[in-house]
Structure 1
Amino acid sequence: MKVNRLLVCTLMWGLWLATLSIQAQSPKINVLVFSKTAAFRHQSIDAGKKALAKMSDEKGFGVSFTEDATQFSESNLKKYNTVIFLNTTGDVLNDEQQSSFERYIQAGGGYVGIHAATDTEYEWPWYGKLAGAYFLDHPMPNNVQKGKFIVTMKNHWATKGMPDEFDRTDEFYSFKNISPKINVVLKIDEKSYTGGKNPDFHPMSWYQTYDGGRSFYTAMGHTDESFSEPLFLNHLWAGIQYTTGGDAPKPIDYAKARPEENRFNKAILAEKLDAPMELTVLGDGRVLFIQRKGEVQLYNIKTKELKTITKIPVSTKYVSKEGKESMGEDGLMGLNKDPNFAQNHWIYLYYS
C-alpha cells in the first residue's frame, strides 16, 4: 500500500513538473516572417531570417518563416501575434489573401515592415496606409551611403539606448504618400548624404495604430550588415514587442474584424434602373436615391414600393459646333440628407 501511494505521488509530481516545463517552453508571442518578392529581391533577406531566428531564441518568442502567400488565411494567421514583411516587393498577395490580412489586423494583429515592405502592394491602398508610406526611390548610382540619423522621440520604447544622433551605412529610401497619422521616431538628415527626396522631413522609422491593429516600420535593413548591428536589432525588437501588445499580448479576436463578404446576403430592392448614382437612408424605413438623368426616387422598405417623386431638369448631352448631339457624363451626380433631417427635412442635390 505504501508502495502504491509512493508511486501515485511520484507520478503526480512528474506530471506537475512536465506541465511546468511545457508552460515555461511555450512562447508568449508567435511571429510570422513573410519574405515573398514579386519584384527586386534583396540579398539581405537570408541575413534577416538568420537574425530573427537568433532573436527568437534569445528573446523567447516563436517564429515561422514563409514565402507562401496561401498562409494568409484566417485559420493560419490567428496563430500569430504579428506578421513581419521582410523586404517584400511587388504584388505578393491576391484579393482573398489581402482580405484575410485586413481582417487579421482588424482582429488585433500586428504588422512590422522592414525596408522594402514599403515597395510592396502599390495597388492596395489599405496596405499603403498600414505600412505608413510607399517607396519613392533611393539614391543612384551610389545607393548605399553613410548618413546621419536623428532621434525624434527621446526616452521612447522605440529609441531606447540610441544616441540622439548617429551615423550608419544603409540604403536610404525616400517616400511618397506618407500618412499624416504615423508617429515618427527616427528621421535622417538629407544634408548628410546625396539623393534624398523628402527635404522638409525625411522619416526613417515610425509606428501607429491602424484599423484595429498596431503597425511598426523601419526603412533600415537593406544591407546584410544591418542584421548584425545591435542598434538596429534592438530597434527591431522594440517594434515587434509594440505590435504584439508589449508585456501583455492579447489574443487575436476575429469578433472585432469586418465580416467576410460571403457572410452577407444580398437583397435586390429595385431593378432596371438607368444610371443610379447615390442614395441616402432616411431613417424611417425609406431609401432616397437619384439617377443621373434627373430622377429622384423613393423606396419604402416596409411596403416595398418604388416611386419617382420628382425629376430634376439636367443636361446629359453634348452639342458640337456643328450641332451634333452626343451623350455626356453630366447630370444629377450627388445626394445627401441634412444632419438634422429628422427635424428640418432638408436634402441636398448636386448636378453638373
Structure 2
Amino acid sequence: MTARLLVYTRTTAYRHDSIPDAVAAVRALEEFTVDHTEDPAALEEPLDRYAAVVFLSTSGEVLTPAGRRRLAGYVGSGGGFVGVHAAACTEYDWPYYGELLGARFDRHPAYQPGKVLIEDPDHPATGHLPAVWDFTDEWYDFRAGPRGRVRVLLSADESSYEGGGMGDDHPLAWCREQGAGRVFYTALGHAAQAYRDPRFLAHLRGGLTWATAEAAA
C-alpha cells in the first residue's frame, strides 16, 4: 500500500523553475501517491488522509490562518511534514513554522559545486550516500543553526565552495519530532537537475519514508 502525500508548491516570493520537475519526480516514486496543489484552501481541509504534507520549494506566506491551525494540529497529532529547499524561505510571519522546520533561510552564495558531509549514515535519507558527496546547489545559510534541536543528517563542507556563511557547523538536512509527528527537511534541491540525480532522489525518498513512519528512525 502506498502512502498518500499532499505536495504543496505555492509561492508568494521567489519561484523556482525546478518545481514542475520536482513534482514529477515525487510522483514517480513508487512508494507514494501524490496529490499536488497550490491552493491554500487545500490546507484548510482535514489532512488525516495524508501520511505527510510536503512543502516543495514554497516561498513567502503561503497559508491562511485556518491552514496554519490545520497544519499544526495535523503534525502534532501524528502527521508527517517534509520541507524541501525553499520550504525554509516560507511563513516567516508564523513563529510555529520556524520551530516546526528547525531553521529559517538567511542567504545563499552562487549556485556551484561543493561537498556534502554525511553526519548520520543510519537514516533512510543517508544510508545510500558516500561519506563525502559531491553535489551542486545553492548551499543555503540559515539565520540560526538547528543543531541541538534536530537530528543532523547532512552538513556542508564550506571549504569546498565559495561564499559560505555558517562556518564549520553548517547543517543541510535533518529530522525531528513535533508532538506525535515527524519532520524531515533538506536544503538541497534547487535545480531541475537534482530531480534527475539518483542519489538525491534516494535521499528525498528516504526522508519521505521516515516522515511517513514507514521506516524505523
The normalised TM-score by structure 1 is 0.59
Question: 2:177 is aligned with what amino acid?
Answer: T
Query: Rg larger in 1 or in 2?
Result: 1
Asked if structure 1 preserves the Cα contact closer than 8 Å seen for 2:124 and 2:215, the reply is no
CA distance, structure 1, for counterparts of residue 144 and residue 186 of structure 2: 16
**Residues 90-119 of structure 1, C-alpha deviations (whole Å, 9 max, x = no match):** 000121110111001111001110000000
1:41–1:247: structure 2 CA closer, same or farther, 3 Å change rule?
same
**Residues 276-319 of structure 1, C-alpha deviations (whole Å, 9 max, x = no match):** xxxxxxxxxxxxxxxxxxxxxxxxxxxxxxxxxxxxxxxxxxxx
* Paired positions, count: 215
**Aligned partner of 1:149 among 106, 112, 116:** 116
In structure 2, the residue matched to 1:160 is: 127
CA distance, structure 1, for counterparts of residue 70 and residue 141 of structure 2: 29
Mapping 1:19-98, distance limit 5 Å: 27-55=1-29, 58-59=30-31, 61-75=32-46, 77-98=47-68
Question: 2:9 is aligned with what amino acid?
Answer: S
**Aligned partner of 1:219 among 187, 192, 199:** 187
CA distance, structure 2, for counterparts of residue 177 and residue 218 of structure 1: 16
Mapping 1:300-339, distance limit 5 Å: none
CA distance, structure 1, for counterparts of residue 81 and residue 64 of structure 2: 18
Question: 2:23 is aligned with what amino acid?
Answer: K
In structure 2, the residue matched to 1:23 is: none
RMSD (Å) for aligned C-alpha atoms: 1.3
Higher relative contact order (CA 8 A, sep 6+): 2
- Compute the displacement of 1:165 (Å): 0.5
- Structure 1 residue runs of 5 or longer lacking an equivalent are 1-26, 249-352
What is the SS of the residue equivalent to 1:215?
A: strand
Asked if structure 2 preserves the Cα contact closer than 8 Å seen for 1:74 and 1:104, the reply is no
CA distance, structure 2, for counterparts of residue 196 and residue 108 of structure 1: 36
CA distance, structure 1, for counterparts of residue 151 and residue 39 of structure 2: 31
What is the SS of the residue equivalent to 1:226?
A: helix
CA distance, structure 1, for counterparts of residue 27 and residue 197 of structure 2: 15
What is the SS of the residue equivalent to 1:126?
A: helix
**Aligned partner of 1:192 among 144, 147, 160:** 160
**Aligned partner of 2:206 among 238, 247, 251:** 238
- Compute the displacement of 1:125 (Å): 1.1
- Compute the displacement of 1:212 (Å): 2.3
- Compute the displacement of 1:74 (Å): 4.2
Asked if structure 1 preserves the Cα contact closer than 8 Å seen for 2:56 and 2:83, the reply is yes
CA distance, structure 2, for counterparts of residue 235 and residue 168 of structure 1: 12
Q: Sequence identity, in percent? A: 41
The normalised TM-score by structure 2 is 0.95
CA distance, structure 1, for counterparts of residue 123 and residue 81 of structure 2: 19
CA distance, structure 2, for counterparts of residue 147 and residue 161 of structure 1: 19
- Structure 2 residue runs of 5 or longer lacking an equivalent are none
